[in-house]
Structure 1
């Protein structure tokens, strides 16, 4: 009987970890997904027809032929997507690191959902260090993905999906185990500081500040060439043209009031005094 394939797929779910080897992160692969989700997957038509008796190589064919979106359960009946069904199948097959690397290395539009499936499986079963080192390189993958939710279908990207796996607590109708902060792993010496694909953020901010200063200087020079005093010079001088005009007018009024020549009869008053 050992040469026959076990027809009852529920055997994997009913072992409760007694004979199933645990995942590298110490979790039981048979209980990583919630019980309600597992039961919906096992009762689905796609699981019974396309996930029966497949191996790691067949997973590639199933993804290319049947997976056109990522997601968990959809609709009012919470029907599991083929993506989620194949994720449970990977939990049952427990592929090694070499097979996962082969999944992740496949590029092009044809295998983008295979890469997303491998990233999802790595997040479920691997240790925190392996999760960061495996998922972070794919934060630069800008290929488009369709994501199906209960509300409908929306557009996302491979890098956005990888980022959700790193920061979210629930993805594709599956609760993810809590991932330690990257800064804590760096303090423990388990991870090197991450280098962004954009480069050093401090250097980028310094370059932006220098560009702003150069633009301000160019604007100042252009104003002086056109005969307009710069705003900085006006601020340093302490006055502006409108204030000088108003000041001159007010000064003239004050001088007109205080000047003896402007007062009528001033000469006569002096002569009488004399």
Structure 2
């Protein structure tokens, strides 16, 4: 049976012992129910419909402006809470790599309703996503409303924010990884392996750094022939070292060559002409 306009699907399981929609504050829910996007766009959506709307998102956020208007992002979050799709569908939102806002939508929803194991497992394995996305902040008049963030930083905040308050919304409490490792609920990962798996290897970071540099060149903030000072310094030092090594090698060769007035020198010349060697006295 399909749920009513604002009621939770009767087949939906409770989350943390509550109605899933109650994970959002009452005042926020009421504003969402009253907004045009909820009434016109979210009406009748299923999980596939939410996915198509998630692909079209231009920014993430909760509410904005003096009237605290709900963003399309938070409207879709509430819709997911209302219909409570199978968790495997949310995993697909997260695993796909083409649409970053759909991934962010899935990550935030999973942080709200997921089990501790699923949250750590799926959020940590996505930490190598360094793409930028836009956040609209719930700020006062006169303050900057827009913020550019990266997906990996957003995930770290979802996992580690001590206040549990992300995008202007309160999140359920999440136990620390160390506690879960000690109770054997999560596989323990050593620091070196964790850095490699979760934060990406050096090659990935270099690729990201190169992409950001190319973006700055396209915007005219950097000239194409400009190189980082560290790279220039390294290049000069390397060239200087090679030059010194070459100079040293040449000097060694000159020291080994026989002098023109020596018997060895003339013996080499006679050998080239097919003559017998001179006898040294």
Q: TM-score, normalised on structure 2?
A: 0.63
Pairwise CA distance, 1:81: 0.7
Q: Quote the Cα distance in structure 2 between the aligned partners of 1:148 and 1:45.
A: 18
Say whether residues 1:78 and 2:74 are aligned partners: no
Q: Quote the Cα distance in structure 2 between the aligned partners of 1:92 and 1:29.
A: 7
Contact persistence 1:146–1:153 (CA under 8 A)? yes
Q: Which residue of 2 aligns with 1:102?
A: 92
Pairwise CA distance, 1:21: 2.3
SS in 2 for 1:147: strand
User: How has the CA–CA distance of structure 1 residues 83 and 199 changed in structure 2, closer, same or farther, with 3 Å as cutoff?
Assistant: closer
Instruction: Return 5+ residue gaps in structure 2 as ranges.
Output: 140-144, 200-281
Question: Which runs of at least 4 in structure 1 moved beyond 3 Å after TM superposition?
Answer: 197-201
Instruction: Return 5+ residue gaps in structure 1 as ranges.
Output: 202-274
Superposition map of 1:45-84 within 5 A: 45-65=36-56, 67-84=57-74
Q: Quote the Cα distance in structure 2 between the aligned partners of 1:173 and 1:198.
A: 31
What does the per-residue CA deviation read over 1:188-218, in whole Å, with 9 as the maximum and x for residues that have no partner? 01111233243799xxxxxxxxxxxxxxxxx
Superposition map of 1:115-194 within 5 A: 115-151=103-139, 152-168=145-161, 169-194=164-189
What does the per-residue CA deviation read over 1:111-146, in whole Å, with 9 as the maximum and x for residues that have no partner? 100000000011000121221111111111101110
Pairwise CA distance, 1:10: 2.5
Contact persistence 1:69–1:146 (CA under 8 A)? yes
User: How has the CA–CA distance of structure 1 residues 127 and 27 changed in structure 2, closer, same or farther, with 3 Å as cutoff?
Assistant: farther
CA RMSD of aligned residues (A): 2.6
Higher helix proportion (structure 1 or 2): 1
Pairwise CA distance, 1:87: 0.3
The structure whose Rg is larger is: 1
User: How has the CA–CA distance of structure 1 residues 157 and 11 changed in structure 2, closer, same or farther, with 3 Å as cutoff?
Assistant: same
User: How has the CA–CA distance of structure 1 residues 35 and 200 changed in structure 2, closer, same or farther, with 3 Å as cutoff?
Assistant: closer
User: How has the CA–CA distance of structure 1 residues 192 and 39 changed in structure 2, closer, same or farther, with 3 Å as cutoff?
Assistant: same
Pairwise CA distance, 1:30: 2.2
Pairwise CA distance, 1:20: 4.8
Contact persistence 2:12–2:83 (CA under 8 A)? no
How many pairs are equivalent? 192
What does the per-residue CA deviation read over 1:153-208, in whole Å, with 9 as the maximum and x for residues that have no partner? 0100111111111122111232111111111100001111233243799xxxxxxx
Q: TM-score, normalised on structure 1?
A: 0.64
